[in-house]
Structure 1
């Protein structure tokens, strides 16, 4: 028997779980599919999107006066640049001094630590904009726009998600059925939202259908379109590390704002970003709010698609989060994991077995489907199958 390719298996699963061409008099069970996206996903859209190594390696021009004073206070003297490893050490020192007041230096307190954290988030937002301009909303519209002249690969990515969207529920009886697409991402950018807005057409927006794990006080400076989502309509879009559009508000909640900010705006109130750290710090209110929602999304999903995330050893909590997709061996028997990465397939399987160790003991009972290649390679195969079907 010929072994089916990853792309063929995926295409058949979508067809099987779709509401299309089914007996509409019968209930079609809801199937949650979750895309878990790392920096490689954004790279597949445009190579200019930075990796962590690129984004968090700072030039001297990036370092502001307040940040400079903090660096000098903790012993940094060579400030011609800051490499990624050094950045993680600096973020670690900040998080430890926040967490343990007795460790704070003579002239460090909770308030200037907040100022420094805001300063760093502002620096990172500006640096990202230098590397690849963020597609802010510049008018009253709720819709995010993609590039005016998309590349061939960008068109294919949109076509792929258009195809998936066409298989999600079209029911009108307010019962969730068929396929549902969710997203959990480690990225700060707006790419997922922009693709969703593109697939929804001219007169619709992801803001009505995408639950972010928290309800913003306002969206783009006006009342949020919906404060309570309807289960038959909603999909999850959870940003584990925060995002360039998420801001803390004075009354302890969060607001979502995709409008363009000036440098002065960012210095005054920078986005909520969880910064890379030698010992990753996920104790803040934002992460504590969205983490249980990410856990529940994975637990309720039957299909997990990991794209552009290499499952590094140091991301201990994220690895534990992924484990919630199939916490015990019985949980994994009816679930499927697709892993798309440039690593060879055996390395991919070993990475996943380090999270799901029971797969190694009974490999033939679990559905781990690796793909060695880029996300573009993978969707090219799927779109080709669809065109020839």
Structure 2
């Protein structure tokens, strides 16, 4: 039953672009990647949630992560509201599509994220030290729980200093805190220019096919690891952490080189960024990475999807500075898809998940964009068919 439907859209025209396809088994609760082969990706359709739609007295927007639960056919979508509009939360939804059309998005539930004491997270005016910055979410069918990440906070001004560490948390489907993942010292926020940059921390996470391991990606380089991405190519290395999903302990780290920022900012010294906005593991060493580039003066984002391989990458867990100790092998990567091929406005895509098997037997891939609660941006959904 549709609890809340925003309408429908039917995009009949499709665009074929090169991408690899992935063979999965038919298990309903675990994802087991098989052999990878080069195939094609076919656009099924696009849908945009209207701006500032309300659901159960909350404002729908800021959708920064998405994951699919095949047992229920539901999607979990974390909201990056820092409890400023409504308490930090995630939404549950149904997406209505097949291999020929994308009909609608139906929000079915909203769940408040809870602190260990059971309370909702406060906003930055009430208690900035406890205010989260939710960015990514995945469902673990083995433990029947959700995992979400927060980027923390780093504000250092002459008037005030707010330092909140990033975090990765296990919660129940009701939003109740269960436990947290261990945080390596390299990712502690600091008032000096050390550790993670503000808004450049845990943007992506995902489980390997057997759910024994979980990967977490930093959006941008740590201060010690070198400069941020620029318009010209440079040594912009960020990190991917590998965890034991059962013990919640880190077991490895890998360097990942970012692409240059896609377009210059206007004016030249204005804000610009390129970083990892989400990851989708395919195995214990391969994963899809989304790089999202934005520059002031250009409305749309440049979204590129890569296949990254960690198999021969160096474990840099004990390397504090990638700019000083350069004797490491980063992950290899291959461009699979550039969203500019769609020849339409593309917003701030921050989430990706595999969806259900389509009626024709092919796998689906779903992307979601964060509108930052701005009327100048869009909460977009894109559904693709993976064609062998």
TM, length-normalised to structure 2: 0.30
Bigger strand fraction: 2
Bigger helix fraction: 1
TM, length-normalised to structure 1: 0.30
